[in-house]
């Protein structure tokens, strides 16, 4: 999977905007890697169940999917010394939210372009713009968040899906 990034970082600084019930959009995310270098993410989409990965102020291994050519990334899983978290159903909910947005751009944009072509004559300019945003949100982003592709990428990156139970000090 070419667009899966595995980074071990400490999230330092960010601004966020609650955009959808299933995820939060973080903007201008600044992270520090193990070796002290700094990474910046322009936009980071974080599912609700992975909020702790961003806010816990610990060094975490984040698994990100590049959904917009380096401008936007989606956090799909994370792990640290204690936990590994990944939920394919939540990722599919995010993909469905983008599909809804894509439908809005396609149908609403086509209608707005049609009406504005009569009123102002700019509908010919607006139609390709709305069609591009509709295609990006309805086809390209959900394809990047496909469950089978993500599972293969996580396995190839070495994500630990199930951690062994900790041995308790009690004698058996």
Would you place residue 68 in the very low, low, confident or very high pLDDT band (cuts 50, 70, 90)?
confident
Segment 76-98, tens digit of pLDDT:
998 888 888 888 888 998 899 99
Helix (H, G, I), strand (E, B) or coil at 165: coil
Length of the chain as a residue count? 172
Please give the pLDDT value at position 168.
42
Please give the pLDDT value at position 2.
59
Q: Are the C-beta atoms of residues 106 and 77 closer than 8 Å to each other?
A: no
Tell me the mean pLDDT in the region 136-151.
89
Tell me the mean pLDDT in the region 47-54.
86
Domain boundaries defined on the chain: 4-86+147-157, 90-140
Fold assignment, 4-86+147-157: OB fold (Dihydrolipoamide Acetyltransferase, E2P) (2.40.50)
């Amino acid at each position: 999977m070419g667009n899966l990034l595995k980074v071990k970082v400490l999230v330092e600084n960010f601004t966020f905007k609650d955009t959808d019930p299933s995820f939060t959009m973080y903007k201008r995310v600044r992270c520090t890697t193990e070796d002290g270098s700094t990474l910046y993410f322009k936009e980071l989409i974080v599912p609700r169940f992975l909020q702790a990965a961003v806010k816990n102020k610990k060094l975490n291994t984040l698994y990100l999917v590049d959904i917009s050519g380096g401008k936007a990334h989606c956090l799909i899983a994370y792990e640290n010394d204690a936990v590994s978290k990944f939920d394919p159903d939540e990722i599919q909910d995010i993909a469905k939210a983008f599909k809804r947005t894509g439908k809005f751009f396609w149908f609403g944009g086509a209608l707005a372009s049609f009406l504005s072509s009569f009123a102002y004559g700019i509908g010919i300019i607006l139609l390709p713009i709305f069609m591009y945003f509709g295609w990006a949100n309805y086809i390209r982003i959900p394809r990047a968040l496909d469950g089978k592709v993500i599972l293969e990428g996580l396995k190839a990156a070495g994500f630990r899906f199930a951690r062994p139970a900790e041995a308790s000090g009690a004698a058996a």
